[in-house]
């Protein structure tokens, strides 16, 4: 029928029994008439165990050697999966990132893909074998050293290979049924979303949703490659990530459900408990102060997210500046600010780690006024105090107290009629 690239994460290949189960699934896909290319992550806790060993022998392991070490994890899982498939009577051959043609720059630990030359993979497909490719890894064009792609690297490998092979779909197998309208662990009424756009998925990923990483969605968007996020524990269809819900023509042969006619305004609610809020207090109200502060943070390699400058009280000579950073980087950012405190003459720096970010994402926001009003009304009705606000074309985010995260997500989820069982609240006449 077509060419399917299927990626299985660490929890799907955690032990011998899981590997045999995945092998069965791959063989079934092949027997259904598809060409199949598999991408695997390292088994379960392998990466953590290797990291632990590295820190036992070195206080500061070089990136090149860390990449050499960590890439052994996929080597193990891919060889075992190839064996298990061969044991079921089909030929499978494993390939390292380098052998599969994943060419990267030489930024160890966070390499960027610069080219994909899957000649050996195409050769294997043409010989009716199932290629098993190590996720997360490549080889540097200049140095010929082994590299890793960083967080979400195996998903990125799968998408990059699928694009290079012009596959019909990239299936990302995980331990949940697909993309949910909120994190089911804090919003039990969250339901699985059958389709979502690249843009929505990218906003959700950036806003803290964990299932797919931003980089792999960006990559798929560039090549208009459908991603199918689904469970390795069931046969159910999961979530298709595509360009435009109004044009689902790509899905005709991929999805048994066919096109979904109703288009939701809201894709989902994401939350992120991994940030900290830093407030620079008493910044003199002079031009260039904010620029100097942001430059200092940038120089320390820390990414800022939401930024709010309090309106100066009339006649005041100083203002407060707040922004969020990854919690792990908060100390580094504060230290950097302390260094320039005397120069810039601001009063103090306050770090607040007890925050949550809640975001509402939906392509429908573009054309449906009133989404913001409903959003803030729901939060207010739940008694949750909003500390910071930021928006994009298809997203509204607020910073609130961490302990309010669950209340806030559930309130917003209900207000937009996303709850699985509850009555759908019709919004603007076109809701669900």
Residue of the chain from 33, 126, 144, 288 that contacts a copy of itself (CB under 8 A): 144
Residue of the chain from 5, 6, 19, 270 that contacts a copy of itself (CB under 8 A): 19
Residues in the chain: 432
Q: How far is the CB of 299 from a copy of itself (least distance, A)?
A: 27
Q: How far is the CB of 423 from a copy of itself (least distance, A)?
A: 49
By CB atoms closer than 10 A (0-12, 13-18, 19+), residue 19 is buried
Q: Is 14 in the site for a copy of itself (CB under 8 A)?
A: no
Q: Is 384 in the site for a copy of itself (CB under 8 A)?
A: no
Q: How far is the CB of 70 from a copy of itself (least distance, A)?
A: 8
Strands 355-361 and 113-116: unpaired
Span from 13-21, 178-186, 236-244, 384-392 in contact with a copy of itself (CB under 8 A): 13-21
Q: How far is the CB of 23 from a copy of itself (least distance, A)?
A: 7
3-state percent breakdown (helix, strand, coil) of the chain, nearest 5: 35, 25, 40
Which residues lie closer than 8 Å to 187 by C-beta, 6 or more apart?
A: 181, 269, 406, 409, 410, 413
The three-class DSSP label of residue 53 is: helix
Q: Which CB sits closer to a copy of itself, 137 or 324? A: 137
Q: Is 93 in the site for a copy of itself (CB under 8 A)?
A: yes
Q: Is 251 in the site for a copy of itself (CB under 8 A)?
A: no
- The Cα 213–Cα 275 span in angstroms is 17
- The gap from C-alpha 281 to its chain's centroid, in whole angstroms, comes to 33
Q: Which CB sits closer to a copy of itself, 71 or 239? A: 71
Q: Check if the beta carbon of residue 356 is closer than 8 Å to that of residue 412.
A: no
Q: Is 57 in the site for a copy of itself (CB under 8 A)?
A: yes
Q: Is 76 in the site for a copy of itself (CB under 8 A)?
A: yes
Q: How far is the CB of 96 from a copy of itself (least distance, A)?
A: 8
Q: Which CB sits closer to a copy of itself, 56 or 234? A: 56
Identify how many contiguous H helices and E strands the chain contains and give both numbers.
13, 20
Residue 146: phi and psi, rounded to 5, are -75, 135
Q: Is 60 in the site for a copy of itself (CB under 8 A)?
A: yes
Q: Buried (b) or exposed (e) across 22-41, using 16+ Cβ within 10 A?
A: bbebbbebbeeebbbbbbbb
Q: Is 71 in the site for a copy of itself (CB under 8 A)?
A: yes
Q: Which CB sits closer to a copy of itself, 20 or 413? A: 20
Query: Which residue ranges make up the site for a copy of itself (CB under 8 A)?
Result: 16, 19-20, 23, 50, 53-54, 56-62, 64-66, 68-69, 71-73, 75-76, 78-84, 86-87, 92-94, 99, 120, 144
């Amino acid at each position: 029928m077509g060419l399917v690239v299927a990626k299985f994460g660490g929890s799907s290949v955690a032990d011998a029994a899981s590997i045999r189960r995945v092998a069965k699934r791959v063989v079934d896909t092949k027997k259904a008439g598809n060409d199949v290319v598999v991408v695997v992550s390292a088994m379960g806790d392998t990466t953590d165990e290797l990291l632990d060993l590295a820190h036992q022998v070195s206080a500061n392991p070089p990136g090149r050697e860390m990449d050499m070490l960590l890439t052994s994890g996929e080597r193990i899982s891919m060889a075992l999966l190839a064996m298990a498939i061969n044991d079921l009577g089909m030929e499978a051959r494993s390939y390292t990132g380098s052998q599969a043609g994943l060419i990267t720059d030489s930024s160890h630990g966070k390499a960027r893909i610069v080219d994909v030359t899957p000649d050996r993979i195409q050769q294997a497909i043409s010989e009716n074998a199932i290629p098993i490719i190590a996720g997360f890894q490549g080889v540097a064009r200049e140095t010929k050293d082994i590299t890793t792609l960083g967080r979400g690297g195996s998903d990125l490998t799968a998408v990059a290979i699928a694009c290079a092979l012009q596959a019909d779909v990239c299936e990302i197998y995980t331990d949940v049924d697909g993309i949910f309208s909120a994190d089911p662990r804090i919003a039990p009424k969250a339901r699985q979303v059958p389709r979502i756009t690249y843009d929505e998925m990218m906003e959700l990923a950036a806003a803290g949703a964990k299932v797919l990483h931003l980089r792999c969605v960006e990559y798929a968007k560039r090549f208009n490659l459908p991603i199918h996020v689904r469970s390795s524990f069931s046969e159910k269809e999961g979530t298709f990530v595509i360009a435009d819900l109004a044009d689902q023509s790509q899905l005709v042969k991929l999805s048994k459900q066919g096109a979904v006619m109703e288009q939701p305004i809201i894709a989902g609610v994401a939350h992120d408990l991994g940030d900290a809020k830093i407030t620079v207090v008493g910044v003199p109200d002079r031009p260039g102060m904010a620029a100097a502060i942001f430059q200092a943070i940038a120089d320390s390699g820390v990414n800022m997210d939401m930024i709010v400058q309090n309106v100066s009280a009339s006649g005041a000579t100083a203002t407060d500046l707040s922004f969020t950073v990854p919690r792990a980087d908060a100390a580094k950012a504060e230290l950097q600010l302390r260094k320039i405190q005397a120069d810039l003459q601001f009063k103090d720096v306050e770090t607040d780690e007890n925050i949550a970010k809640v975001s509402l994402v939906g392509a429908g926001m573009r054309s449906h006024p009133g989404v913001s009003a409903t959003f803030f009304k729901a939060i207010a009705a739940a008694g949750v105090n909003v500390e910071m606000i930021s928006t994009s074309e298809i997203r509204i985010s607020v910073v609130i107290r961490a302990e309010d995260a669950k209340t806030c997500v559930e309130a917003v989820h209900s207000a937009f009629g996303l709850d699985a069982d509850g009555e759908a609240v019709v919004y603007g006449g076109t809701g669900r």
